Amino acid sequence: MRVLFLCLISFFSLYAKNLVSVSIAPQAYFVKQIAKDTLDVNIVIPPNANEHTFEFKPSGILKLEKSDIYFTANLEFEKIWILKLKDNLKNTQIISTQNGIKLMPLQEHAHDGHHHHGDDPHTWLDPVLVKTHAKNIALALIEQYPENKAFYEQNLKDFLKELDTLNLQIQALFEHSKGKYFLVYHPSWGYFAKRYHLNQIPVEIEGKEPKPKDLAKLAKLIQKEHIKAIFVPKGANNNTIKAMANNYGLQIIELDHLPSDYNNALLSDAKNIASMLQ
Ligand SMILES: [Zn+2]
């Protein structure tokens, strides 16, 4: 009996894959490009949740504890929970996939009063910066699982090439749009805008809806820059968005800023933005 039991245990451990965790869906895509099916990936933030106001649930602790590595993304909840979970995560390496990327302050449109600018974490929406995410991930995986070094190195090389191609495809879309403005509800497109020489006009201020005074300023900018659309996160549809669309005759267009099918989704987001700049 005992022998059978031991056999079963070794059978299951032979087939159980190592686990790593990531904060957001695009990071899971990046890990999968390099690890393929050598690993299981746990995504901490569920799809369509707000990555800034997300509240980590204690039920998520177990999967983090079982993870060899937790890849973070400079999000608000991480700072709070990593401290709280210090003792639980003794065997989990915590690595930011943004290591080496200089973060810019989160962009908010000009407004009076206090400024509480935090760092803008949305570097994953610039495919050139994603190359740094990918290299950080590969480095960490190779250190953790040296037996897969050659496989991971080759996969990294392939993925970097795909990101170069994606960057060229998006560049071509904005070739004649340099300096143009696009209106976004949530200011997640700052790095993307910088990369392709565009200007993002954010509606949200410090994660909150704008005040009437701020809306008046936005209205002027919308007219001056001939803005045709308001880009909103997937599933977002609040009164400010509806009112702005009505008052200024704007189309409401969803952009996926936490894409799980990264390359395809980013290209389609880029096409959506480009189509409104003509
Ligand atoms: Zn965001």
User: Which tokens in the block code for residue 235?
Assistant: 């599933």
- State how far the alpha carbon of 275 is from the alpha carbons of 144, 260, 269, in Å: 44, 23, 10
Name 91's Cβ contacts closer than 8 Å, sequence gap at least 6.
Answer: 65, 68
Residue 64 CA to ligand 1 centre (angstroms): 22
Residue 84 has φ and ψ, to the nearest 5°, of -60, -35
Residue 1 CA to ligand 1 centre (angstroms): 54
User: Which tokens in the block code for residue 221?
Assistant: 């900018």
Give me the CATH topology for the region 14-97+122-169. Rossmann fold (3.40.50)
Residue 107 CA to ligand 1 centre (angstroms): 11
Residue 69 CA to ligand 1 centre (angstroms): 23
Which residues is 201 bridged to in the sheet? Answer: 183
Residue 188 CA to ligand 1 centre (angstroms): 5
Residue 2 CA to ligand 1 centre (angstroms): 52
Residue 73 has φ and ψ, to the nearest 5°, of -140, 35
Profile the chain (278 residues) by mean pLDDT over runs of 10 residues: 58 76 98 98 90 87 95 93 90 97 80 62 98 98 98 98 98 95 95 97 84 89 95 89 94 96 98 94
Name 125's Cβ contacts closer than 8 Å, sequence gap at least 6.
Answer: 188, 189, 191, 192, 257, 266, 269
Give the pLDDT of residue 114: 46
Task: Count CA within 13 A, CB hemisphere, residue 26.
Answer: 25
Domain boundaries, the chain: 14-97+122-169, 176-275
Give the pLDDT of residue 211: 86
Residue 81 CA to ligand 1 centre (angstroms): 18
Give the pLDDT of residue 4: 62
Give the pLDDT of residue 59: 83
Domain spanning 176-275, CATH class = alpha beta
Residue 122 CA to ligand 1 centre (angstroms): 6
Residue 233 CA to ligand 1 centre (angstroms): 9
Residue 260 CA to ligand 1 centre (angstroms): 15
Residue type, 117: H
Residue 187 CA to ligand 1 centre (angstroms): 7
Give the pLDDT of residue 237: 83
Residue 52 CA to ligand 1 centre (angstroms): 6
Strand ranges, E, within 83-172: 93-96
Residue 50 CA to ligand 1 centre (angstroms): 7
- Dist CA 114 CA 41 (whole Å): 40
Residue type, 112: D
Per-residue pLDDT tens for 105-132? 887 655 444 455 689 999 999 999 999 9
Residue 120 CA to ligand 1 centre (angstroms): 8
Give the pLDDT of residue 49: 86
Closest CA to 183 of 226, 220, 221, 231: 231
The 8-class DSSP code of residue 37 comes to: G
